[in-house]
Structure 1
Amino acid sequence: MNIDWLKAIQLTVTFIVLSTLFYVSLPILYPFYISIILAIIILPLAKLLERKLYFPRGLAIFTMIFMLLVVSVTVISLSMIELIHFLQQFSHFLPVIFDTTLQHFYETIFPWTEKMIGTLSNLLSRSPDFSQDYFTQLLMDFANSFRDYSQNFLLDLVQSLILIFTSTLQSSYIFILILLSTYFLAKDGPRWAASLLSKVPAPVKDFIYDLRMQSFQVVKKYIFAQLLIILSSGLIIWIGLTLLNVKHALAITFFSMLLDFIPLIGVSVVFIPWILYSFLTQQFFMTIGLSVLLLVLIIFRNIIEPKLLGTSLGIHPFVMIILLFLFFQWFGVMGVLLTPLCLILLITIKQTGILRDIQAYLTK
């Protein structure tokens, strides 16, 4: 098999340029990328409203965006209510935690510090002039450092509050921008795409149609697999919390399932602080029970998730682990979020025969 190296170089350079453009533009244009994804998700549901209820396209898209917004606000509100309830209970037990910790300090650490002070006093008594001056200067330096630290802490606190306020305003602006972009992309995007497709050759048009159909099938399989994993994890959480006689077990399970959609975070953000809180309040039975439940969830996810996704999507679990590691190293947390998109893209490329077409293009 003879390879046309000029075509290979051209194809490689094109791939590098496109990848670089995407990488550079991602921090700047990410609201529009999110809008494109949301428009792709909303468009089939809006078409369903058009066919079944005879909605105009604009009204159908607006209805779907409004429903998505209502669901998001409802979920966030319920999550905040549960979080506020937890913080109220935590603030009620906070004095008890503080007293317990202080008692532990007096019983274990304070005798050790008294012994150190006694040893230091003996050393000071042997060389009173030099050691006393040195010790006094050390205390003065410590006081000055503490004063400077307090001033810097107040300044940093004010700056942090200003930054949080600015970030909130910016996030609101970005959120509105995403909603508007999603509406116009879902409303006029198909017309723009049809206009562009009318100007391309028929083979390219067939290829794009095949690519879209294969992508849709892969996305359906991926979403089904993720929902099955999250529902299974939620069932385990609900059973475990019910056995531990935890109040609001169903609400906590629902909140944990929502967090389970976020890679590398998941239910750990709920259970780890809860375990620490139970340990500090000397609820050792609850501490052991929650620790066992979290361990069961981690083992279940690590065994089932790669296997189920690999089986439903037709890709080996080891490849998924490699992709997750590489994208995390390259892009950080954003890379973990991009891993499913890359996985869907790779499977679509495999099923549409792009690699075969590239081989035919490069072969003389």
Structure 2
Amino acid sequence: MISFYKKYWRTAFDIGLIVLTVYLFMLLFSYLYRIATPIFLALIIYAMIEPLARFLHRKGMRKTIASAISTMLFVLVILGALTGAAVIFTSQIMSLIEKVDDYQVVFQNQIVHRISELNAQFQTLPQEVIDKAKEYAGQFAVKASQFIGNFLTSMVNSLTSFSTFMFNFIVGIILAYFLSIEIESWKRLAQDKTPNTFKKAFYFLKENVVKGIVSYIKAQLKLITLTFIVVFAALLSLSVNNAFSISLLAAIFDVLPLLGVSTLFIPWIVYLFIVGNTTLAIWLSALLLVVILVRQFMEPKITGESLGVSAFTTLAFMIVSLSLFGVAGVILSPVLIILIKALYDQGYLKRWIRKPEDEYAEGGTPYTGP
């Protein structure tokens, strides 16, 4: 054991120092996100309004007027579309919440009916086993309906609690407008006053991380939009109620690595088979297969090398980040994944982490035993 520590202590120290740095950085970011949410929203809004403002400014318009026009268009178009979608989504989800108890009763009755049919056909199950099965089926149905109801209610509450969000959003719009006007002075200040070490770090992040995260976000937006359109069109053709909210939920779930739309569709399909709605269950199974195939076919073409990390690694990192740092951790996790990959590709991690001696065969020769 002593020899193990002697051989690996430098490597463990280097890795521990990197992990500590990442942890402290995410802790700082989560703290800043809590106390300065409007500023982070302002940066996002600025990135959306600045291209049009810059274009109008190049055409001879004063920057203040160009930024004002771009900001007004953002408020009218983007905010209007989001508000309309939120209203429709909230009303349809509320309708689903009201019907959850009815679905639970139908599900429970169907389970009891299926158990009774099996017992009548085979007549081999003791009565106490049948009673226990019915009891467990009822408990499962109740817990499942409570979980679904609580999940949908939490989503509605997150959408309808507008007070804090609207305050942050309005302040973010104002800050983005002023940032668009003053961006050149901020750039000159950063160029003149920033130390060279931080400039090098900034340019590294800009070339290897910012571009990667922007392309990743664009790719994910394209994929979830494609998923929403396919699911929405299919549900409308099948005359499914609340098609818009279900399609939007499918698009939201589609963001999750590994899980995707299957998280929504598989329980729904199982429920439909149990309650006897076989036709819709078959059509939804076909729709799920189409969505998965379309995503598998389009994802390599759209995403390319935007992230370059396995889905398992991405999801695991997001779960750990969510547990430790909340929403801020989920926001920052793709950035850190791309940063770590860039540091590895550029050879920084190999220089920063000292390998134990005599542990790696020279020239890639595999270890064949003593």
TM (normalized to structure 2)?
0.57
CA distance in 1 between counterparts of 2:84 and 2:91 reads: 10
Q: What is the CA deviation profile of residues 194-226 of structure 1, one whole-angstrom value per residue up to 9, with x for unaligned ones?
A: 213212355754653454344443234213422
User: Retained in 2: the 8 A contact 1:97–1:281?
Assistant: no
Counterpart position of 1:335: 329
2:93/2:245 contact within 8 Å kept: no
Distance 1:240 1:198 in 2: 56
Which residue of 1 is the match for residue 366 of structure 2?
Answer: none
Distance change in 2, residues 1:173/1:224 (3 Å): closer
Residue 248 of structure 1 and its aligned partner are, at CA, apart by: 9.1
1:186 aligns with 2:180: yes
The one-letter code of the counterpart of 2:305 is T
Per the TM alignment, residue 260 of structure 1 is displaced from its structure 2 partner at its CA by 5.6
Task: Classify 1:296/1:58 alpha carbon distance in 2 versus 1 (closer, same or farther; 3 Å).
Answer: same
1:196 to 167, 186, 190: 190
Q: Secondary structure at the match of 2:36?
A: helix
What is the number of equivalent residue pairs in this alignment?
A: 300
Q: When you count helix as a share of all residues, which structure comes out higher?
A: 1
In the TM superposition, residue 254 of structure 1 has moved relative to its aligned partner by: 6.8
Q: Tell me which residue corresponds to 1:355.
A: 348
Aligned to 1:60: 66
The verdict on how the C-alpha distance between 1:262 and 1:185 changes in structure 2, with shifts beyond 3 A counting, is farther
Deviations 1:275-330 (CA, angstroms, capped at 9, x unpaired):
69968986442244335534664687689869975734344445434423432332
1:236-315 maps to which residues of 2 (within 5 A)? 236-237=230-231, 240-241=234-235, 244=238, 246=240, 255=248, 259=252, 263=256, 283-291=277-285, 293-294=287-288, 297=291, 309=303, 311-315=305-309
Q: Are the structure 2 counterparts of residues 328 and 288 from structure 1 closer, same or farther at C-alpha, using a change threshold of 3 Å?
A: farther
Distance 1:354 1:42 in 2: 37
Quote how far apart the aligned CAs of 1:193 are.
3.4
Given the alignment, which residue of 81, 84, 87 partners 1:77?
Answer: 84
Counterpart of 2:43 (choices 33, 36, 41) is 36
Structure 1: distance between partners of 2:349 and 2:95: 61
Secondary structure in structure 2 of the residue aligned to 1:44: helix
Among 25, 29, 47, which residue is 2:32 paired with?
Answer: 25
Aligned-residue sequence identity (percent) comes to: 26
- Unaligned runs of 5+ residues in structure 2 are 1-9, 114-126, 129-153, 354-370
- State the AA in 1 paired with 2:37: Y
Task: Indicate conservation of the 8 Å contact 1:43/1:61, yes or no.
Answer: yes
Q: Deviations over 1:93-127 (max 9, x none)?
A: x6x958x859959x97xxxxxx99xxxxxxxxxxx
Question: Retained in 2: the 8 A contact 1:260–1:266?
Answer: yes
Q: Residues of 1 paired with 2:167 and 2:31: CA distance?
A: 22
**For the aligned residues, what is the CA RMSD?**
5.3
Mapped contact 1:218–1:348 kept (Cα < 8 A):
no
Q: Distance in 2 between matches of 1:305 and 1:276?
A: 27
Separation in 2, partners of 1:164, 1:217: 31
CA distance 1:97–1:261, change in 2 (3 Å): closer
Normalised by the length of structure 1, the TM-score is 0.58
Contact 1:32 1:178 in 2 (8 A): yes
In structure 2, what is the Cα distance between the partners aligned to 1:357 and 1:203? 20
